[in-house]
């Protein structure tokens, strides 16, 4: 199961990288988020998986697709100036970073030494208790931040400010 | 390294998937020109960090603090999505483009 969800996640991400059509890239993003939600279930955290599906696949990707259709930019615009060296250099350095970081994780005896503690699945009750007992102020600040972001978004797209 | 445990999903496997997801997002931001696709790459990088966080929490016995942090990250990501897309729409109004290479001047 882990392998299936991991491959789904990475295949969706790679498809975003190669996809020319922006709508299809957004759909690949949904695929990647679905795989991530599956990985969260395997991590005994169904609450996070549900949040992932609702907020990312449900809200954020729909927002991106809405903007793509609103601006009618289904295809990437033809390049003003082709910069093949910079593009391949960027991809190569990203790949180098990936190889180095994965190698470091696989070679680390500290990570390998960690044993999975016997954990029960995360419940909504446990999350709610931790949230409202220890992080009430943070919760209120997050609400204020969402309000500020909403006002900023409305202000930014208004016709004339 | 235990290959069978890796394929079943050890901590190393989860961290490797998170890192590969992160560099894929980084590659998208570096190689693609459309601001909207670059935005998708940023979301992928953010989700890679979430995956690493929740995997580490699982190997610490299912700490609920990590889920609270995940909740806050999602709230901030939603704010970032709203403001970022509003910026893209505002740029499109001014320049009629969503190409990052064409939006390289601060003044009109």
- pLDDT tens for each residue of chain B, 108 residues long: 677 777 777 888 899 999 999 999 999 999 888 899 999 999 999 999 999 999 988 888 778 888 999 999 999 999 999 999 999 998 888 888 888 888 777 766
Q: Is residue B61 part of a domain?
A: yes
Show the domain range for B83: 3-95
Q: Residue B104 falls within a domain, yes or no?
A: no
pLDDT of A161 above 70: no
Burial classification of residue B18, based on how many CB atoms lie within 10 Å of its CB (0-12 exposed, 13-18 middle, 19 or more buried)? buried
Q: A99 CA to chain B: closest CA distance, Å?
A: 9
Q: Write the ipTM.
A: 0.89
In a domain, B90, yes or no: yes
Question: CA-to-CA distance for B71 and B64, rounded, in angstroms?
Answer: 11
State the total domains in chain B: 1
- Asked whether residue A77 carries a pLDDT value surpassing 80, the answer given is no
The model's pLDDT over A39-48, given as tens digits with 9 standing for 90+, comes to 999 988 889 9
Phi (first) and psi of residue A21, to 5 degrees = -80, 125
In the stretch 31-90 of chain B, residues with CB closer than 8 A to chain A read 31-34, 36-37, 39-41, 43-44, 47, 50-51, 54-55, 57-62, 64-65, 67-68, 70-72, 74-83, 85-90
Q: How far is B53 from chain A (nearest CA, A)?
A: 11
Please report whether residue B106 resides in a domain: no
B contacts of A119 (beta carbons < 8 Å): 58, 61-62
Instruction: For residue range A82-127, list pLDDT tens digits in order.
Output: 788 888 999 999 999 999 999 998 888 877 777 766 667 888 888 8
Domain spanning A1-75, CATH class: mainly alpha
pLDDT band, residue A79 (cuts 50/70/90): confident
- Residue B101 in any domain: the answer is no
Give dist(CA A136, CA A150) in Å, integer: 21
Residue B86 within any structural domain of the chain? yes
CATH number of the CATH domain containing B77: 1.10.287.3510
Would you kindly state where each structural domain of chain A is located, as residue ranges?
1-75, 123-161
């Amino acid at each position: 199961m882990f392998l299936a969800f991991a491959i789904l996640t990475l295949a969706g991400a790679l498809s975003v990288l190669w996809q020319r059509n922006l709508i299809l890239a957004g759909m690949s993003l949904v695929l990647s988020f679905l795989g991530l939600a599956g990985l969260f279930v395997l991590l005994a955290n169904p609450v996070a998986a549900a949040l992932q599906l609702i907020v990312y696949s449900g809200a954020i990707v729909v927002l991106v697709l809405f903007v793509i259709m609103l601006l009618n930019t289904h295809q990437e615009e033809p390049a003003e100036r082709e910069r093949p060296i910079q593009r391949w250099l960027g991809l190569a350095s990203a790949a180098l970073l990936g190889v180095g970081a994965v190698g470091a994780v696989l070679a680390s005896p500290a990570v390998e030494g960690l044993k999975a503690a016997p954990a029960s699945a995360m419940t909504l009750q446990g999350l709610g208790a931790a949230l409202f007992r220890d992080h009430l102020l943070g919760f209120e600040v997050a609400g204020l931040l969402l309000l500020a972001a909403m006002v900023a978004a409305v202000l930014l797209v208004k016709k004339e400010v | 390294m235990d290959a069978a445990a890796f394929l079943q999903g050890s901590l190393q496997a989860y961290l490797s998937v998170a890192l590969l997801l992160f560099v894929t997002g980084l590659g998208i931001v570096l190689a693609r020109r459309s601001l909207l696709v670059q935005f998708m790459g940023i979301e992928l990088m953010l989700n890679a960090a979430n995956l690493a966080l929740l995997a580490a929490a699982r190997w610490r016995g299912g700490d609920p603090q990590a889920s609270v942090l995940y909740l806050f990250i999602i709230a901030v990501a939603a704010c970032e999505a709203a403001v970022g897309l509003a910026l893209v729409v505002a740029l499109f109004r001014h320049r009629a483009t969503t190409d990052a290479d064409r939006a390289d001047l601060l003044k009109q």
